[in-house]
Amino acid sequence: RKEVEQDPGPFNVPEGATVAFNCTYSNSASQSFFWYRQDCRKEPKLLMSVYSSGNEDGRFTAQLNRASQYISLLIRDSKLSDSATYLCVFTGGSYIPTFGRGTSLIVHP
């Protein structure tokens, strides 16, 4: 099993749709979880951390399922500007952060 697995997509959705991505991890010692957004040919930027109880930031909701070892990102009311690649990251106190390869999202009019 790969350390981090993400569906590469692309997820092609209309404006206003709700879309969700999952990211699974194999290292049960993972303690910290993040979602990053990367626009084409740009650097990754932190979108949000993922907390055990789940957390929300506007239209974005992140959740953690430790039992099944995955995190999810839900985007509501998709905007054209949400089109990007979304990267998940897992890390712990003593091991280096591990990035997924990313999920491509295309929001069309």
Positions in the binding site for other proteins (CB under 8 A):
31-32, 34, 41-46, 49, 87, 89, 91-97, 99-102
For the bound state, the minimum distance from the C-beta of residue 99 to other proteins, rounded and expressed in Å, comes to: 5
Do residues 34 and 88 lie in contact, with contact meaning Cβ atoms separated by under 8 Å? Answer: yes
Q: Is the dihedral of CA 57, 59, 65, 71 positive or negative?
A: negative
DSSP secondary-structure letter at 77? Answer: S
For the bound state, the minimum distance from the C-beta of residue 64 to other proteins, rounded and expressed in Å, comes to: 14
Residue 10 sits at φ, ψ, to 5 deg, of -80, 150
Residue closer to other proteins by CB (options 40, 109) is: 40
Residue closer to other proteins by CB (options 48, 78) is: 48
Residue closer to other proteins by CB (options 37, 63) is: 37
